Amino acid sequence: MALELEKGKPLSVPHGGNSREAVERFGAVLGRIIDFSSNVNPFPLPAAVQRALRSAFKRLNVYPDRESYGLKKILAERWGLPIHSIVVGNGSADLLYRAVYALRPKNGLIFQPSFGEYAKALSEVGVKIKVLRLDPVRGFSLPKGKGFERVGKGGVVFFCNPNNPTGCLTPKKVLEGVVRRLREKGAFLIMDEAFIDLAEEESLISQAAYEENLLVLRSLTKFYGLAGLRLGYAVGHPVLIRRIQEIGQPWPVNVLAQAAGEVLVGNETFRRKTCERWLREKEDLYRHLCQIPGIQPFPSSAPFFLVRLTEKGSVESLQRRLWKDRLLIRDLSGFPGLEEGHFRVAVRNRRENRLLVRSLKKALAEEES
């Protein structure tokens, strides 16, 4: 079904990871909250990051490199890409907005359910947005055929792979065809790969530097656990990359974020071990979630699961019960493109995942009685 969002309508986008808001809603809990509502690397970062941050601390009184050149060089080597095809930003959300301002699209197309900032970024430049619904019966996968064709000439399509909050992964081969068809239409694709690290083989990053209608956004805050520091990058045609670089304030990325990124991105051992461990925990958590009566988790290629309540009861009351065990889940009630009764949980370490499973079982049994 295609809907149209009203031009210029202000949009507010709730996110996971807001434990302050949860404290206000549900009251104080003693001790640390285990946050399953935001999907950030739960494992310790290498000691080299702390050393790099301590060293960068001495440069707090120096303006950061405007282009994050050191980090760009490492990224260019890692991906075998020209350095001029990369721009670094204050998280990938920063680049998402700057890309829209750089492209000045004539219209927009988004899918729902998906990340809410696409609609907000497009609405900020005042364009009409078409919305395509992803079907839960088909596992929220991309509909075959015409979906992308609904964008007009000069328009921008946002697509998230794997998608947040569904975890659904679209194969690279399918997306290459989409890029081709959009090029013929004179439309542009912004591909958000914030959660692709566990399924790297489906990334479009290698071709993004050479396509005139494709920009790939990558986050360094999730897989590399830098949500509080903020870091991300985009890969695209050098002409567009230069425009994005020039948009916004001159120093978007601080010295601490640049220093952390430089030691993390080049660390292949950390990357490999994180992938192995996170994937192992993901499989384990999925198996356990599938065995809990009253919920249905959707298969996911990302380090989180979309979960549906199959019995009566509200996610709000489930969230409240889990909160007593200091666990925070992402309530997706009212999330555009999803029916009521959905929530999302991140994959954390084994001990925390087991706590979640136990607490969910208990809370759902209480809901029933």
Ligand X SMILES: Cc1ncc(COP(=O)(O)O)c(C=O)c1O
Q: Which residues of the chain form contacts with ligand X (CB under 6 A)?
A: 15, 91-93, 115, 160, 164, 192, 194, 219, 221, 227, 232
Choose between 91 and 294: whose C-beta lies nearer to ligand X: 91
Choose between 95 and 363: whose C-beta lies nearer to ligand X: 95
Q: How far is the CB of 218 from ligand X (least distance, A)?
A: 8
Choose between 41 and 359: whose C-beta lies nearer to ligand X: 41
Q: How far is the CB of 15 from ligand X (least distance, A)?
A: 6
Which residue has the CB atom at the shortest distance from ligand X? Answer: 91
Q: How far is the CB of 227 from ligand X (least distance, A)?
A: 6
Tell me if 363 sits within 8 A of 321, measured CB to CB: yes
The CA distance from 347 to 354, in Å, is 11
Q: How far is the CB of 153 from ligand X (least distance, A)?
A: 26
CA 240 to chain centroid = 22
CA 117 to chain centroid = 10
Q: How far is the CB of 216 from ligand X (least distance, A)?
A: 12
Q: What is the dihedral of CA 207, 97, 134, 5, to 10 degrees?
A: -140
Q: How far is CA 44 from CA 50, 53, 215, 247, 264, in A?
A: 11, 15, 31, 34, 12
Choose between 112 and 221: whose C-beta lies nearer to ligand X: 221
Residue located via tokens 């949980």: 345
Q: How far is the CB of 330 from ligand X (least distance, A)?
A: 10
CA 164 to chain centroid = 6
CB proximity list for 260: less than 8 A, separation 6 or greater: 49, 52, 53, 56, 224, 226, 229, 231
Q: Where are the alpha helices (DSSP H) in 61-131?
A: 69-79, 92-103, 117-124
The CA distance from 337 to 112, in Å, is 5
Q: How far is the CB of 192 from ligand X (least distance, A)?
A: 5
Choose between 192 and 331: whose C-beta lies nearer to ligand X: 192
Q: How far is the CB of 191 from ligand X (least distance, A)?
A: 11
The CA distance from 74 to 233, in Å, is 12
Choose between 159 and 286: whose C-beta lies nearer to ligand X: 159
Instruction: Identify which of 17, 344, 39 has the alpha carbon closest to the alpha carbon of residue 222.
Output: 39
Choose between 110 and 355: whose C-beta lies nearer to ligand X: 110
Choose between 20 and 146: whose C-beta lies nearer to ligand X: 20
